[in-house]
Structure 1
Amino acid sequence: MVFRTVLQVCLIWLVSCAPASAAQARIPVRVGVFDNPPIVTAAPGVPPEGIAIDMIRWVAEREGWQVTYVPDSFDNLLARLDKGDIDLLAVIAYSDERAKRFQFSQQSLLGNWGMVFRHAQADIQSLPDLEGKRVALMRGGTHSQALVELSKQFNAPFTPVYVDNFPQVLEAIAERRADAGAVNRVFAALNAYQPDLAATSIVFNPVFVHYAAPKHASPALLAALDRHLAALKADPQSAYYDSLRQWLEATPSSRALRWLPWTAAAVGSLLVLALAIAGLLRHQVRRQTGELLQRADQLQHEIEQREQAQAHLNQLAYFDSLTRLSNREGSRIALNRMLTRMQGTDERLALLFIDVDRLKNINDGLGHGAGDLLLQQIAQRLQSVLRAHDHLSRFGGDEFVVIVSEIGETGDAELVASRLLQSLAAPIDIGSTQIYSSASIGIALYPDDATSMETLLKHADTAMYQAKELGGNRFLFYHAQQTERVVERLTLDTRLRQALERDELLLHYQPIVALDSRRIVGVEALLRWNDPERGLVMPGVFIPAAEDTGLIVQLGEWVLAAGCAQLRDWQKQGLADQLTLAVNVSTRQFEGRRLVKSVEQALSRSGLAPECLELEITENVMLIMNDDVRGSLDRLREMGVRLSLDDFGTGYSSLSYLKQLPFHTLKIDRSFVSKIPGQAGDTQIVTTILALANGLELQVIAEGIETQEQYDFLRGQGCQFGQGYLMCRPQAADSLVAMLGRKALFWQQADVASVQQYAPD
């Protein structure tokens, strides 16, 4: 009997302790959350919800986590994550700077763009309009910092008004504590219907949302999230896509109005009660019924507002507001669906990556409004030549992507690419201005070039850049060698930046000669790169890469400083009292009136007089002509600096601009000089340029003179100055010193043959 009693007590103790033991076996996980709907909703007193929370709960059930949510402001949560006070942060945008502080999940939750909202009465449409305005920003947010940096690039500084979360950003705008504010695209759509708010066209900084853990924490939590997220993303029917549909596409009644069933129940109870006491409270029934009908109307109105917000959310999430085409996310979803459907079949697909040529010149010259109109018309033209089942999207900026399905052979993709280029051949009217546009197209084929979405996009993008390097307005198919060329280009860019830091750059100088007296009147500074591995590298190899990356600005400033210092040194030696220094200038150096500052600094540090410096500017400056560029040219002329229009006749020249702009000199391009006096067409062009310059009272320099016949012809036609291998090849500064002391240059006819083996510099 005693044994039975003891056994019963032990069984009861085991049963009572079993849940506690099981609970103790679960892994405690502290998850930081802040209000960022619909990714995370963290309202006070309510359990958190949203896409990120759905995924954490799904993983927690399978990994045995005991999740505790820690609500706080985003800034405070970052500090807690640094200290290890929380184990996971539910939503954080990835950046290289943050990756130094925290561990990030390899799998992103979703992609997100920054958007700028304004008060309905604020006149803000584009980024330059933010100058001097008050802009609400979430403290510590990636989009906040990105907008601050972007405003600096556009020279449009604003006053930040920092708050703790996105809802407070919109509150600041509505209460007129801020003129505008930055939020992410997903959150934006839920609030777009508010009467005091209006969306602007400023969309920027695509980021990817991840989970994060403390830097030195165990990677087990993030590894579990990555493993499950990767599997869920690979299955279109998984809980991941169910969550996206619920929070991004579901009708509001399924989640936003969860109190509606309770309200309906209350209404029913009131009606039953009213019927029971109808005889006594008939006047109250009528009053309450009216109130209920009014409340029902309010509920219906709120539902309609939520439905409008959801529709707007879908538009922001998957469509481009400017062109009404699918955006980057919509394009990726469409491509992924097609590739999933085509797996295991013999079907083929072509992906065309399109980049509009020289859009930056349009934006700089005519303004971003003109650039937007151009993109809209380009989108319409591209769409007009595609088949109904082909998919066109705006991938971002000046890039479009076309998915061409149902192709039988490579020629089908080639035919589509040819039609796309042809659609852009005719000029496009932007107000009263006609613009000629073109595009560079890269083509990758499925399954020939790749079978995954990411690789297919990468290969098409690589082929597009190769087409752009070849001059644009063409298409190219992807080849493996193109990837090698891209790697070489990236390596070149890195080594060129290092060359600037390691003082591997040097200048050679080519004399400019007065054709009548053969006296040296100036020198042109020509950049060289003394690569320790490849030796002396000519500018044709590295200047195009520097133009693309923007490094040309730093290179140009280095050439200005080094050239001015060298000429001043020669002057101190009594070798160059009457000489001018010609320096080539890239159009990119005009951005932000930076060129004027660079020239002022170079002259001040070297002590060189402004009239000794001549800046050679290509005709492409006409394409970016605006008030800033015109003001820079005028300021340089006022300083006394001479201005020369380089390579005249090879690019875009407007005679009205030529008459108005403060140039001193025209340079005839070597492509014309090389064919005179033998070819009639080029001879006529040269004589016309000389007559034009004479009429405009401009001096003329002919470059690339290699024969005595060219020299004699140009001199006979009244050309004042020239340079070329006939007179002197470019030389290092030390080699040129002896020549600078001469009164005139003399050369023999026999010397001409020895220099013609060299290509023009």
Structure 2
Amino acid sequence: MANRLALVTSIATQLMAATPSTTVAVSEQVLKTLVDQLGVDAAFLRRNDHEIRASKLVTEWPPRADPPDPDPLAVVSFTTADPVFAACAHLKKLSVIQPDPELSGYVRQIPANHRNESLSIAAAPLLSGTVTTGMLALVKYRRAKWRSEELNTIEAIASLFAQAQARIVAEDRLRYLADHDDLTGLHNRRALVEYLSERLAPEMLGPVGIFYIDLDRLKPINDLLGHTAGDWFIQDFGRRLRAQAGTRSMVGRIGGDEFVVIPDRPMSPADAEKFADRLQRSLRERVDIHGHTVTSTASVGVAVGIPGHDSAAELLHRADEAVLAAKRGGGNQAVSSTEDMSMKSLFRKDIELHLQGEIDDESLLLYYQPEVDLWSGAIVAVEALVRWRHPTQGLLLPGSFIGIAESTNLAGDLGRWVLRTACAEFSRWQAEGVRPNTTMRVNVSPIQLASRGFVQHVVETIDEFGLPPGALCLEITERAVVRNIENTRRTLAELREAGVQIAIDDFGTGYAVLSHLKDLPVDTLKIDTVFVRELGSNAGDLAIVRAIIALADAFGLQVVAEGVETSAAALTLMRHGCHRAQGYLFSRPLPSTGAQALLASRWMPMPFLADSQALVI
């Protein structure tokens, strides 16, 4: 009894120390110990794979001298197994098996000098709850009676093997989950970054290509067919991506519809572009989902890194920038990362980082650009233009940060600050004697226009600063108008009722609003700078400007030309019936004090009017 306890304790210690990488070697050593201590002829350990309904050999002792290739004992199906291995499937307690030498596949694999002897096998199941996970078997070549002490020891060791096997399976599963995406079975971000970091180590061969892949149409599938269909679509795409990328490539999923491929071989930038084009084209396929045929396309971003120079994070970021550029270009294409792309992305992220929390009087200020009557030089309006004192980049124009504010849900806060500040300064100017019938123009973003409580905020701001009716004009873009036309029509009507003027800014760039213009409560059309800058020399621009002027006249609307920089442009506008303009020809945007002084003068010189013949039509 003492010897048995010592043997079980020793084996338990060995199995407790086993890891996924050492379990076969430790198991083999345990079998050797059992063969030696119990005086039997052989031993083997098998585990069950119930998914494929088969028993797999873990290890044996002593090893067979020259097993055939393939080894018929390596994987044995439950359905075709002889009694020795059939017992592996659902054995629940130790059994002694005496196989028929003529029928047993196991007998045919034992040493030839023992095949005609009467074998006796003590087989003990490995149990995990009610599931048989494997079998420990000890073999006597000469049929001899098994002592109860031997059988008890075998049962105890089988139980230890079962516990060790369950622990290692659990550890393997945890390790697998730590490295793999649970939906597709592909590697996850952590595993990809670890692998990419290894590939970019200074001593590794390069260059290293990385391909960031983004599905083009996952959201419509989720919205129309449900997330179960979307998950199936992702799984199917993952399978196709793995097949196209090759078995030696690292393939992973790092987001909802975002995948990464890292080929195992070095790639020049030219080779990477060819690989990306081939990969992108091969993934374009028609897929049937619940009776709906969907064309599967993907955008691919390409980046190439140098070992010892680039980090995994930098390379992933560059590939991500490239795929975003591909998506902005309409998708279904491959785009390579460039230095210019990286610089723009860094600038954008710097803006995004610093803009958070800086919408206040300390970091923002307003400049004002006057609008003049071309025939008299009278200053009839000013447009409020926001500027940002960036902590490292200096004074930034709105084109640098407005789009980022909209994409980060800061447009509402920024718009409210601009409106309040413009109204406050305009009220002060009027109190100090500025021309009373001048208009303050303030730009409104699509997000503001669609936000709840916008009209109420505008009305409260007008009341707070005592602006007279018509003093405030809100400028909206064509894009904002057509985003939700019914909501826009209702909002503009409420603003008009409150005494607010409405102008459509950048008019002519899309003509998307034309079909709705007759129903919208609009006062002014502002001709976009792109059509004004070359007036006097570009016949195409003149045709568009004339059409806009005629359209405004037909609807009884005021028309204002933006971006007037030359006398030729100003005279051309006057010739064709545009009476108001703003631009560098008259004045650049000015800070508050300069704008107030200019408004106080009420008039601007119009030297281009000196040549009266210029206005002859």
Q: CA deviation at 1:670?
A: 1.1
Show the counterpart of 2:484. Answer: 625
- Which of 499, 503, 520 is the aligned partner of 1:644? 503
Q: 1:499 to 1:383 in 2, by over 3 A?
A: same
Q: Which digits, 9 at most, give the CA deviation of each residue in 1:461-504, with x for residues without a partner? A: 3555688899998734265x977765554444444446534623
Is residue 2:431 matched to residue 1:572?
Answer: yes
- Which of 422, 437, 441 is the aligned partner of 2:301? 441
Is residue 2:548 matched to residue 1:689?
Answer: yes
Q: CA deviation at 1:692?
A: 2.8
- Which of 220, 226, 244 is the aligned partner of 1:388? 244
Show the counterpart of 1:720. Answer: 579
* Letter paired with 1:369: D
* Residues 564 and 603 in structure 1, CA contact (< 8 A), matched pair in contact too: yes
For 2:253 and 2:493, the matched residues in 1 are separated by: 39
- Which of 460, 474, 481 is the aligned partner of 1:615? 474
1:365-380 equivalences under 5 Å are 369=223
1:191-270 equivalences under 5 Å are 259-260=129-130
3-state secondary structure, aligned to 1:500: coil
Q: 1:337 to 1:596 in 2, by over 3 A?
A: same
Show the counterpart of 1:318. Answer: 181
For 1:684 and 1:529, the matched residues in 2 are separated by: 37
Q: 1:543 to 1:418 in 2, by over 3 A?
A: farther
Q: Which digits, 9 at most, give the CA deviation of each residue in 1:374-400, with x for residues without a partner? A: 999998999999972268876446755
Comparing 376-385 with 689-698, greater Cα deviation is found at 376-385
* Letter paired with 2:595: L
* Residues 444 and 478 in structure 1, CA contact (< 8 A), matched pair in contact too: no
Cα RMSD for the two superposed structures: 5.3
For 2:375 and 2:282, the matched residues in 1 are separated by: 52
Show the counterpart of 1:543. Answer: 402
Q: Which digits, 9 at most, give the CA deviation of each residue in 1:711-755, with x for residues without a partner? A: 121122122321112222222232233432455432324999xxx
3-state secondary structure, aligned to 1:526: strand
3-state secondary structure, aligned to 2:303: strand
* Letter paired with 2:498: M
3-state secondary structure, aligned to 1:611: coil
3-state secondary structure, aligned to 2:470: helix
Is residue 2:611 matched to residue 1:746?
Answer: no
* Residues 360 and 417 in structure 2, CA contact (< 8 A), matched pair in contact too: no
* Residues 348 and 405 in structure 1, CA contact (< 8 A), matched pair in contact too: no
For 2:548 and 2:435, the matched residues in 1 are separated by: 30
For 2:421 and 2:222, the matched residues in 1 are separated by: 36
Q: CA deviation at 1:259?
A: 4.7
- Which of 374, 378, 383 is the aligned partner of 1:524? 383
Q: Which digits, 9 at most, give the CA deviation of each residue in 1:340-384, with x for residues without a partner? A: 899998586532335689x9xx99xx9993799999999899999
For 1:377 and 1:622, the matched residues in 2 are separated by: 38
Show the counterpart of 1:736. Answer: 595
* Letter paired with 1:515: L
Is residue 2:456 matched to residue 1:586?
Answer: no
Comparing 627-636 with 683-692, greater Cα deviation is found at 627-636
Is residue 2:379 matched to residue 1:509?
Answer: no
Q: Which digits, 9 at most, give the CA deviation of each residue in 1:499-523, with x for residues without a partner? A: 5346232212111123344322211
Show the counterpart of 2:533. Answer: 674
For 1:739 and 1:371, the matched residues in 2 are separated by: 61
Q: 1:341 to 1:535 in 2, by over 3 A?
A: closer
For 1:624 and 1:493, the matched residues in 2 are separated by: 25
* Letter paired with 2:181: Y
Q: 1:333 to 1:724 in 2, by over 3 A?
A: same
TM-score (norm 1): 0.46
Q: Which digits, 9 at most, give the CA deviation of each residue in 1:601-624, with x for residues without a partner? A: 422322224532222222332563
* Residues 206 and 305 in structure 2, CA contact (< 8 A), matched pair in contact too: no
Q: 1:441 to 1:598 in 2, by over 3 A?
A: farther
For 1:498 and 1:511, the matched residues in 2 are separated by: 30
Q: Which digits, 9 at most, give the CA deviation of each residue in 1:52-96, with x for residues without a partner? A: xx99xxxxxxxxxxxxxxxxxxxxxxxxxxxxxxxxxxxxxxxxx
Is residue 2:414 matched to residue 1:559?
Answer: no
Is residue 2:569 matched to residue 1:706?
Answer: no
For 2:424 and 2:482, the matched residues in 1 are separated by: 32
* Residues 199 and 208 in structure 2, CA contact (< 8 A), matched pair in contact too: no
Is residue 2:533 matched to residue 1:663?
Answer: no
Show the counterpart of 1:42. Answer: none
Q: CA deviation at 1:525?
A: 0.4
* Residues 207 and 304 in structure 2, CA contact (< 8 A), matched pair in contact too: no
Asked which structure has the greater CA Rg, the reply is 2
For 2:301 and 2:507, the matched residues in 1 are separated by: 30
Comparing 390-399 with 550-559, greater Cα deviation is found at 390-399
For 2:418 and 2:347, the matched residues in 1 are separated by: 25
* Letter paired with 1:619: E
Comparing 671-680 with 458-467, greater Cα deviation is found at 458-467
Q: CA deviation at 1:549?
A: 3.1
3-state secondary structure, aligned to 2:386: strand
* Letter paired with 1:477: S
3-state secondary structure, aligned to 2:436: coil
3-state secondary structure, aligned to 2:475: strand
Q: 1:368 to 1:260 in 2, by over 3 A?
A: closer
* Residues 593 and 629 in structure 1, CA contact (< 8 A), matched pair in contact too: no
For 1:530 and 1:490, the matched residues in 2 are separated by: 16
For 2:524 and 2:500, the matched residues in 1 are separated by: 12
Q: 1:444 to 1:378 in 2, by over 3 A?
A: farther
Q: CA deviation at 1:660?
A: 4.2
Q: 1:749 to 1:564 in 2, by over 3 A?
A: same
* Residues 373 and 581 in structure 2, CA contact (< 8 A), matched pair in contact too: yes
Show the counterpart of 2:273. Answer: 414
Q: CA deviation at 1:576?
A: 3.2
Q: 1:530 to 1:419 in 2, by over 3 A?
A: same
Q: 1:649 to 1:388 in 2, by over 3 A?
A: same
1:469-488 equivalences under 5 Å are 475-477=335-337
Q: CA deviation at 1:258?
A: 5.4
For 1:392 and 1:526, the matched residues in 2 are separated by: 48
Bigger helix fraction: 1
3-state secondary structure, aligned to 2:525: strand
Q: CA deviation at 1:524?
A: 0.3
* Residues 188 and 254 in structure 2, CA contact (< 8 A), matched pair in contact too: no
For 1:643 and 1:485, the matched residues in 2 are separated by: 34
TM-score (norm 2): 0.55
* Residues 506 and 528 in structure 1, CA contact (< 8 A), matched pair in contact too: yes
For 2:231 and 2:371, the matched residues in 1 are separated by: 48
Q: CA deviation at 1:534?
A: 6.1
For 2:386 and 2:584, the matched residues in 1 are separated by: 17
Q: CA deviation at 1:573?
A: 3.0
* Residues 383 and 392 in structure 1, CA contact (< 8 A), matched pair in contact too: no
* Residues 620 and 652 in structure 1, CA contact (< 8 A), matched pair in contact too: no
Q: Which digits, 9 at most, give the CA deviation of each residue in 1:83-139, with x for residues without a partner? A: xxxxxxxxxxxxxxxxxxxxxxxxxxxxxxxxxxxxxxxxxxxxxxxxxxxxxxxxx
* Residues 489 and 521 in structure 2, CA contact (< 8 A), matched pair in contact too: no
* Letter paired with 2:414: L
Comparing 591-600 with 437-446, greater Cα deviation is found at 437-446
Q: Which digits, 9 at most, give the CA deviation of each residue in 1:245-303, with x for residues without a partner? A: xxxxxxxx99xx955369xxxxxxxxxxxxxxxxxxxxxxxxxxxxxxxxxxxxxxxxx
Report the count of equivalent residues. 428
* Letter paired with 2:540: G
* Letter paired with 1:617: I
1:19-58 equivalences under 5 Å are none
* Letter paired with 1:410: P
